[in-house]
Structures are given as C-alpha cells and as structure tokens.
Amino acid sequence: MSDARKLPTMAYGEFSRRIHTHATDTNHVTNAQLELTYRCNLHCRHCYTDPYNNKDWIAQELSLSEITRLIDDMAELGILWLNLTGGEVFQHPRFWDIYEHAYRRGFLLQLYTNGTLFTEAVVARLQAQPPFTIDISCHSVDESSFDWFTQVPGSFRAFRRGLELLRTADLPFTLKTKGMNWNRQELPAIKDFVESFGQPFSLTTALSPRLDGDLSSLSHRLTPSDVAMLQLELMGGAPSDEECRMATELLQRPLDRLYRCGCGTNTIHINARGELGTCTMQYECRYSLRTYSLHNAIERLFTDIASLRYHQDVPCGTCELQSFCDKKPTEARWECGNPESPVPYNCDVALARAELATQQTLLHPLGVSRD
C-alpha cells in the first residue's frame, strides 16, 4: 500500500483570501500587472494606451530578454498572480515566448484581451498551457456600435468568432463591461449576452484620461445619476436598513494620505517601457526597471507612496465621501492640474452613490447647492 500522503486542499476563494490578507499585513507583493505592449489592432475611443500605439512609443518597449528577466525576478519575489495586458497582448510579436516562460515559472496567469484575435491555433496553444483566466472587454453587442467604438470595421464579427471558439474550447474566461453614455441603453442587452455564456455581468463605470493627458475619453462618461441608478439596479433595489447602517459607517473623516486605497501594499504595475508603479493610473511615482532592480524599486516605490500626503487646504483632505469616490491623484492632475485637487465629476458621483447607499441627504463635498 502506498504511504503517499494527499496534499491538503482548500477552495480557491479561501486560498486567495488568506494569501492576500497575509500579503497586505506584511507588505508582500503577490500580484503583478505587466503591460507587454502598446500595440493593438483596435482603437477604442476610451482607451488610455491608444495614443502610444505608434512606432515611436513601441520602439521604447521592453525587449524579450528584459521581460523574461523581470518575470524571473517576480518569481523570485514570490509573486503568484501575473496579469499580462496591453494594448492587445496577442499583438506582441514574441507573445508566446513570454507566455510560455511565465507559464513555466508557475504563475497564475490572467490575460486581458479584446477577444478579436482568437483562432483555432491560438486556442489550441492555450488549451495545452491554460491560463488561470482570460478577461475580455464587452462594451457592446450591436455590430455598428461596437465597430464605431473600436474604430475598426469587422471587429465585432471577430469578437463574436473569438467568443464562440472560447466557449467550445472550455477555457476559463470572463466578460467585463464599461458603462458609458453611448452604451447606456444597451446595458440590459449586454447583460443578457454575458449571462448567455454562463458568466455573471460585471460592470464598471470609471473612465481615465489618456496616458498623454488627452481628456477626450472622458466625454463618454455616464451622468452621475446614471452611475447611481446602475448601482441600484445591480444591487437589486433599495438597500436594507442594515446595508444603510453599514454604508453610514463609511462616512468618515479620512487619513491625510494622498493614496488611501490599497496602492503600495501587495500589487505592482509595470508599463510597456519598464516603469514600475502601483497601478495603471498611478503616475505620481515611478521607477525605471532599466535602472533599478525589481526588489529595490518596489521598496522605494512603496515607501514613496506611503509618504505622499495632502498638504494643501483642499476638500479631498477632509472629505467624508472618500469611500464612495473614484478619484485617482494622477487623473486629478491631468484633469484639474493638481493631484490634490477634487475632480468635480467624481464628487458628483460619490455624492450620488453615498446618498443612495445611506438613504440620507448629504452635503456636496464642494458645497454645490442643489437649487
């Protein structure tokens, strides 16, 4: 009889929760997002990397040997979840070398893709070395709207073909939707479409300026009341008394830190030029991994992020709505000229969300009158 002992097992959710809790407590990095390229076959109207999808910026991207060295460094540091993103990852000319290298190093791999470049050959390679998950953007299920938004005729048909290939290949994938003013009326149809693949409908509403500071992407924002209404629909109706009580507890005077989110705890972002940050839209502190080792750059970056404070007498410094607010300092700098500045749109959204969640009438953080 074999004396081999079985490895203990646990549900994935519990495994992930335990690792992330421990990592946050100990400032240990477990998650990395690696932007492989600015290349993309589409030109979505809200895309923050699209202005860099040209030969001048692509020439600055990390080489294959720089990327594989970084992947090795991440493995040495104990990073477990690795998100490969772009641009469009399948447009990187050495994508499979990168993917297979990361796969062999044992990461739980998450691919972000627009879903238009799947072929039988691509799907077969992924089946042989499956990723942990594939996340695909789904902002429209109407052919003319989809192609208008991506600015590439035929992109919707390619997207549908890709999804059908994935459906039959039994690869793990999820669909994610960005609610915008042009697809607002379409959201129920998108939800039905997503659910027809057995997926939960996943909706976000925040839009970012483009990486070159161009604000045109923000013209697609939903109105603040639409954001709040969508939240209500997703919650399945008005909050219970207990939910209102819990939401009211979130109305607190904040810490004076500039970054009050989880930035600088367990996650890193590396852009296509090898600059280390804490997330895609954090450009207040970056360290080039062409100059610093990954370990050294993380230490410097996390120390810097933790030390950034509100120094000016601005509403965000004392705002009780910050738990309901999407403001990111770099976006505030691009949109309003100052990372400490409030972003009026974010204030309107935060107020609408907070009033909905608490079922109370609250003061506007900028003192805006309702009359």
List contacts with ligand SF4 (CB under 6 A). Answer: 40, 42-44, 47, 49-50, 86-88, 114, 315-316, 319, 321-322, 325, 327, 342-343, 346-347, 350, 365
**Could you tell me the smallest distance in angstroms from the CB atom of residue 137 to ligand SF4?**
6
Of the two residues 339 and 365, which places its CB atom closer to ligand SF4 in the complex? 365
**Could you tell me the smallest distance in angstroms from the CB atom of residue 161 to ligand SF4?**
16
Secondary structure element (H or E) that encloses residue 248, with its range: helix 241-249
My answer on whether omega of the bond before 162 falls inside 30° of 0, hence cis, is no
Of the two residues 92 and 327, which places its CB atom closer to ligand SF4 in the complex? 327
DSSP 8-class letter at 176: E
Please choose, from the candidates 144, 149, 150, the residue with its C-alpha nearest in 3D space to the C-alpha of residue 182.
149
Scan for tokens 């004396």, then name that residue.
Answer: 3
Sheet holding 31-35, edge to edge: 203-204, 173-178, 133-137, 108-113, 81-85, 31-35, 267-270, 275-277, 287-288
**Could you tell me the smallest distance in angstroms from the CB atom of residue 215 to ligand SF4?**
16
**Could you tell me the smallest distance in angstroms from the CB atom of residue 47 to ligand SF4?**
3
User: Is 135 in a helix, a strand, or coil?
Assistant: strand
**Could you tell me the smallest distance in angstroms from the CB atom of residue 46 to ligand SF4?**
7
* Total count of residues recorded for the chain: 371
Burial of 190 from C-beta contacts in 10 A (0-12 / 13-18 / 19+): buried
**Could you tell me the smallest distance in angstroms from the CB atom of residue 68 to ligand SF4?**
23
Of the two residues 77 and 362, which places its CB atom closer to ligand SF4 in the complex? 362
Of the two residues 75 and 261, which places its CB atom closer to ligand SF4 in the complex? 261
My answer on whether omega of the bond before 87 falls inside 30° of 0, hence cis, is yes
Of the two residues 57 and 287, which places its CB atom closer to ligand SF4 in the complex? 57
Of the two residues 119 and 293, which places its CB atom closer to ligand SF4 in the complex? 119
The amino acid occupying position 209 is P
